[in-house]
Every structure is written in C-alpha cells, then in structure tokens.
Structure 1
Amino acid sequence: MAHTSSRPAPVPRLITETEDLSATVDRFLAESYVTVDTEFLREQTYWPVLCLLQIAGQEDVVLIDACAPGIDLTPLTRLFDAEGVIKVFHAARQDLEIFLHLFGRLPAPVFDTQVAAMVAGYGDQVGYDSLVGSVTGVVIDKSHRFTDWSVRPLSEAQLAYAAADVTHLRDVYEALTKQLEKEKRTSWVAAEQEALSRPELLIADPERQWERLKARTNNRRMLGVLKAVAAWREREAQRADIPRQRMLRDESLLEIAATTPRTAGALARVRGVTRGFAEGASGQAVLDVVGEALALPDDQLPLVPRKRQADAVRPSPALTALLKVLLAARSEERDVAPRLVASSEDIDRLASDPDQPLPFLKGWRKEIFGQDALALCRGEIALGVRKGKVVLIPV
C-alpha cells in the first residue's frame, strides 16, 4: 500500500561556492539522517566524474554543483564522517565509489534503500522509480534520465529532476525502516549493508579481474597469463583514467592468454590490438607481463575456479530445479527477494556438494531457506502443491 507524504514540496537550492557548502553541512549535522544521490559521467573515464550532488534533510534540499569553478567539496567529509547522521542512498555502490575516490574514505553510517527493499519484499534490485511509486504513489519524471550533467547552465527542469531523487527518498526511507522494525528484519538489512563499509569491495582489485572474464579452460598456465595481463590492464586504466575496454578489450586479453605472444608482430595479430599499440610502450609492457607469467613456477599459478573444478561432477539439473523452486516458494512465503537469499551459483554448488559451507547456510538465510535446502538434498522433505502454493512435505 502506498504511503503519501504530508511534507510540503521543497524548493531545491543550488550551491556553487565552498562557503555556502560549508554552512549547509553545518545545518545537516543536526539531522538524524540525510538522503544523498549523485549525477555523474563515466563514458570516457575509468573513474566516475561527479557533476552534481543532491542532499536532502527534513527541510533543506540542496544541489551541489561539483563543476562550479573553484568549489571545494572537502566540507562534505564532516557530514560523511558524522556517526550520528545516517546517509541514505538508493543503489549506493557507484555513489560510494565516487566518494571513496574523492575523499579516500567512505561515508558512514550508510543505509541503502535498494537493499532494504529486497529484504522488505519489493523484489530483486528494484529501481528507484518503481520503489517510489510503490511506497508513495508518486510517478517520477524520467525525461532527464540520460541528460549530460556536465553541461552548464543546468535548466530548472534538470534541477527539479535531480532534487526528486532525494526528496522522495526521505519518504521511502522512513516507510522502509518502519516496516523493517515491525517485521523484525532490521538486523537482516544491517548484515547485508556491511559490505558498503568495505572499500575493497567497491574498488576493482586488479589481481582478481581475470576471474570476471570466465576463461573456458583448466590450463593453469593460461590462467596465469590471463591474470597477469588483466591486472596490468586494470592498473593502467586506473592510472590513465580511461575505461578498461578502451585500454584493451576482454576478447583481446583472452586471446593473449591463449596464444602468449612474445613479439610485437605476434601481439599485433591478436584481434582488437592495433600495430601502433603492439609496437609502442604499452605493447612492450604487455609482452613483458606475458613473459613474466610464463616464467612463474607452477605453485604460483592461479587455481582453476571452483565452478570449473566442479564441472567434472555436474549437479543434477533436476535437483537444481527443485532447489530453485524451494527458494522461490520460501522467499514468496517470507516476502523477501530470492536473489538476496541465494544465487544460482550457490544453488549449483549445494546440489554438487551439500557438505560445503555456503552463505545461505547461516544466519537469517538458513532460517528462511538453508535448512530446508539441506533437508531437500538429503531426501528428508519433498515438494507438493496445496491450494495453488508450493508446500514442504516431510518424507
């Protein structure tokens, strides 16, 4: 059921000077929470370029122009460091990455309404527009969603659109916290949001970038080369502040790992690698990295990913399907997003080996799904249908 707000429509105020920002932060420090959102660009850079920052308290709604000449955003650290003021975001990861890059530390404490909405039964990764509509009944204007926020001056319509991202978020936050307290799920949200306080989970680790490429091989030497060139690309992209795919595309990394070029000519034959790149300083750096990876002793090569190791003992598709039905049924019964409880990979791993430790075998997830999933794997329960609902039947 949608909840309407009795709050008067706020008049957003644009901040373009450091002194005004500092005075505004002083006022926000008296709040119990503030809602925060950002508008940024990332198409041409590795790091997101902050263009506009929106913050709302109970009364004030401000739009901080990060592109204003001479503005210093440092006063924001006093607000972001204030333990007595909760910083409320929706889908916080990219916003937090911006602040981590700008200030070298994360805002705290943080509350992510997307995570809270998943716990509260609003579905998997619900968007801001949909959540606002469900909670408040307000329809968000989407006309400026793809605007270029670096262009100045910003129009009144753009400023109104940006302000809406934090004004309605206040009502969403208050409704969600009230619901979670009533249903005694506040601790569930706290456990899920703990990751938002860990910088290492928000900034890409160069040494782990090879894992996301999902190379279809059990050859550890090839994986060693892939790990090395993927780490080089990530560090270079970060240093040069350009998108990693513009530095070197994923398919090029995979081909380099498979063919292990040792000369500029061989590197230039890799799909997506230009002769200019191959014969330049970057090409030589790649060749050096390949050579170093080929010289690594076997015990320093990366292990085959667990999922690849498990391919020889593939889980029963029927058992996996039953576990997914159980997950959907238990999530529906408890009104929580299935994706928050267990991933498809987790279910595959359980079906392959019920004795291995998995995230949903502890805490509130175990209560909702984990213990029943183990019972299903052991043949202790079966699934049936009663009055249009999936039910558990003891065996």
Structure 2
Amino acid sequence: MDLIVSTDVLAAFCERAAKFDFVTVDTEFLRETTYWPKLCLVQVATDDEAVLIDPLVPGFDLSPFYDLLANAAVTKVFHAARQDIEIFVKATGQVPENIYDTQVAASVCGFGDSVSYDNLVRAITNVELDKSSRFTDWSARPLSEKQRLYAVADVTHLRDIYRELAKQVTATRRGDWVEDEMAILRSVDTYVTQPDQAWERLKMKISRPRDLAALKLLAAWREQRAQDSDQPRSRVLKDDVLSELATQRPLTADAFERLRAVPRGFGRSSAAAEIMALLKDVEAMGKAELPVMPERYRGPSPKGAVGDLVRVLLKSVAEQHGVAARIIATSDEIDALVLDDQAEVPALKGWRRKLFGDKALAIKHGRIGLVATRKGIVEFAIKDHEDTAAAE
C-alpha cells in the first residue's frame, strides 16, 4: 500500500477517489494525554486502491482530502465513526458530507450493539484480523510494515462489509433506522462540547439550587480550561473533586486543604484562585438567580414492578426483531420513560418509538399486558384499562 506524504500525490489520489460511489475511511490517533485527539494516520480505500496518508509530515496540506470529505457525491464509509469524525470537525469545522457508519448498520441488522470491526470482518468475510498493532504508538516514525498492514486492513475489508450491510438494510427495510442514527452523527453538536453545557454529562446527585449553580460554573470552567490547555478533563479536575467543590464551596486556601478529594496544596494554586472567584459569585447569587431544581418525582419507581414489565417488553421486542435490546433502549432510558411520558430519550423517538416506546407507555398506563406462551412473550390489549385506571 502507498504511504502518501505530499500534497500533490494526495490531490491526485483524491481526484481518482472522487469518481467512485463510496470510499472507506479510518484514522489512527492518540488521546491519552490531550483533550483533542492527535491525528497520526489516515487510511482511505476505493474499489481498486488503498492508501495511507501521513498527516505528521511537516508542511503537508490535507486540503485535498478534506475536499473529498466535503464531496456529497461520494459516500464516506466509517466503522464506529464518532471519534474519526470528531477529528475532522476539529480540523475543518464541518462534519463530512454523506457519511455511513457500518457499526450503526450492523446494529440494526442483528449483529449486536457496538459490534467491533474485527468481529464484523470475521462474521461477514470469514477473515481473522491481526489486531496486535492496535495500541502501538502511531505517532512514532517510521511506521513498521506490521503497522501499515494493520492500518490498511481497517479500510479494505470495510468495503465488503459496507456492501453486505447495505444489502441487508435494504432487504429488511430498516433504512429509516439507520437514517435516524446518521442524523446524530451528521450534527456538529455531537462532536463539540460547549463549556456551559458540560455539567449535563456529569452524573451527580445534587439536591440544592446553590450547589447546582456551583456545579454548572465549575464544569464550564474545567471544560474551557481543558480545551484551552489541550489536556484531559480529569487532569484539570476529576469528577469527584467537582462534586465536592460544588457542595462545600471553599472560599479560602485553608478551606481547600480540608477537602478530601482535592489534592494537597491545590488551594494555593492559580486554578484554585479562579475557582474561589467563581464560588464567591455563587454565594452572592440571590434566590431568583439560582437554577430551578427539577420537581421531585413521586410516581412508581423505575426499578420497581413497572420498570420490570417494561424491561420484559424490551427483551421481547428485541427478540422478535433480531436486534440487541440495548440498541432499542438502555436501562437509563427505561428509567426515564417510567418517570416521564415526555422524557427526552431515543426510545421515545423515531423508529424506536414505533417499535417499543409507544408499547412501553401503554404498559406503564395499563393499556396493554404481557403473557408468556411457548412462542415467547405476547402483548395483549386490556379492554377495561379505563376502569383499572379509575380504581387506582
């Protein structure tokens, strides 16, 4: 396989690639010590050619490749596309046009949730891949022959996988399922975390408005600092430190030293000074400025009998349609829809709602029931559900 190290050669390849209906794409990158992934290698294949592109060559302009990604006439096929696309969004500000993720397609074709590339290659092409180079240092040069063979295999077998899955999706009429998932991957917001929204990804039990106000500001501060310094969030502050700072809100260096989660001496750092300034702002907030806490739910527990019934329904629906249950709904999504009929979860949107979500709500409100038969779980309508509801 060719290793492209100049813009002229890359431009010539991309001109040839633009004549095909699709190209397969993959990347190798490092991210252990950075916020942003460091692109180390790009692999691309057409029907009759496969190349490796070395982005670490000084002065190498990748614009011809980015133009290919922006060409809507060519389908860009990835497997588990999210991290690859994040790299390209960071470089260009745009999501590649006309993308297709074979991991998504495989999930709706019965290969299970988040199936790995090597398992998919084995299942579809009957080829056993050597994955021993997966965790090598892709920033080191020169690349070994073993690394090159590993890298190019990630796009050559992908051609056969794409063709086969596209056939299966068409045969099962699940194109709309795939499209729903692609809509998420096509949104720039999927790949860019805005600092003021960073708190939403934290799973912490916060019960007081002022604590929540502090958490929002602290999470935004950490996200911005991680992005600006290009280091992982956890190297700025770990999640448990954020939680303790939000609830204890230390305003002096000595107060920092009394916290369990905060590293010794941190209270006298410049970062601590910025945090104390934020926390002072929180303390100065009037009640009207504080965020409104979600209303406490007083209905059935999602971990109780209602949740159990919905989970049985989910397993039944998954078996009927030959897909993994987690593709239709996660455990957290079931909890959410038991708590709220209007929950903002995938299980209550698109094809998932048609397949499962509406039935889950019907069970929750006593409109349908489940019965076990030799053929499996069968749903049945409860004709007197209105009387049942009136008696509650």
Q: Give yes or no for TM over 0.5.
A: yes
The match for 2:144 is 155
Report the Cα distance in structure 1 between the residues aligned to 2:132 and 2:294, rounded to whole angstroms. 44
2:328 is equivalent to residue 321 of structure 1? no
Instruction: Pick which of 56-65 and 340-349 moved more.
Output: 340-349
2:317 is equivalent to residue 330 of structure 1? yes
In structure 2, relative to structure 1, the CA distance for the partners of 1:376 and 1:78 (3 Å cut) is same
Which of residues 321, 340, 353 in structure 2 aligns to 1:366?
353
Structure 1 SS opposite 2:297: helix
Structure 1 SS opposite 2:63: coil
The code of the aligned residue for 1:54 comes to Q
What are the residue-to-residue correspondences of 1:71-150 with 2, within 5 Å? 71-150=60-139
Which of residues 253, 271, 278 in structure 2 aligns to 1:289?
278
Report the Cα distance in structure 1 between the residues aligned to 2:342 and 2:261, rounded to whole angstroms. 44
The match for 1:245 is 234
Structure 1 SS opposite 2:242: helix
Structure 2 SS opposite 1:52: strand
Deviation at 1:299, TM superposition (A): 3.7
Report the Cα distance in structure 1 between the residues aligned to 2:89 and 2:95, rounded to whole angstroms. 5
In structure 2, relative to structure 1, the CA distance for the partners of 1:58 and 1:300 (3 Å cut) is farther
Is the Cα contact below 8 Å between 2:302 and 2:334 reproduced in 1? no
In structure 2, relative to structure 1, the CA distance for the partners of 1:334 and 1:16 (3 Å cut) is same
Deviation at 1:331, TM superposition (A): 1.5
The match for 2:20 is 31
Report the Cα distance in structure 2 between the residues aligned to 1:362 and 1:104, rounded to whole angstroms. 28
Superimposed CA distance per residue, residues 74-117 of structure 1 (whole angstroms, 9 cap, x where no aligned partner)? 22121011010111111111111111111221111111111111
Deviation at 1:316, TM superposition (A): 5.9
In structure 2, relative to structure 1, the CA distance for the partners of 1:175 and 1:345 (3 Å cut) is same
In structure 2, relative to structure 1, the CA distance for the partners of 1:67 and 1:283 (3 Å cut) is same
Is the Cα contact below 8 Å between 1:334 and 1:368 reproduced in 2? no
What are the residue-to-residue correspondences of 1:218-237 with 2, within 5 Å? 218-237=207-226
TM-score, normalising length: structure 1: 0.91
Superimposed CA distance per residue, residues 163-184 of structure 1 (whole angstroms, 9 cap, x where no aligned partner)? 1111111111111111111111
Report the Cα distance in structure 2 between the residues aligned to 1:245 and 1:355, rounded to whole angstroms. 33
Deviation at 1:288, TM superposition (A): 1.0
Is the Cα contact below 8 Å between 2:299 and 2:339 reproduced in 1? no
Deviation at 1:312, TM superposition (A): 6.9
The code of the aligned residue for 1:35 comes to T
Deviation at 1:388, TM superposition (A): 4.9
Superimposed CA distance per residue, residues 47-99 of structure 1 (whole angstroms, 9 cap, x where no aligned partner)? 00000111111111011111123212122121011010111111111111111
In structure 2, relative to structure 1, the CA distance for the partners of 1:355 and 1:207 (3 Å cut) is closer
The match for 2:390 is none
Gaps spanning 5+ residues in structure 1: where? 1-11
Which of residues 335, 356, 359 in structure 2 aligns to 1:348?
335
Superimposed CA distance per residue, residues 214-246 of structure 1 (whole angstroms, 9 cap, x where no aligned partner)? 222211100110110111011001000011111
RMSD: 2.0
The match for 1:7 is none
Which of residues 150, 156, 161 in structure 2 aligns to 1:172?
161
Structure 2 SS opposite 1:310: coil
The match for 1:3 is none
In structure 2, relative to structure 1, the CA distance for the partners of 1:311 and 1:110 (3 Å cut) is farther
Identity %: 45
Is the Cα contact below 8 Å between 2:369 and 2:380 reproduced in 1? yes
The code of the aligned residue for 2:64 comes to P
TM-score, normalising length: structure 2: 0.91
Which of residues 352, 376, 380 in structure 1 aligns to 2:367?
380
The code of the aligned residue for 1:253 comes to L
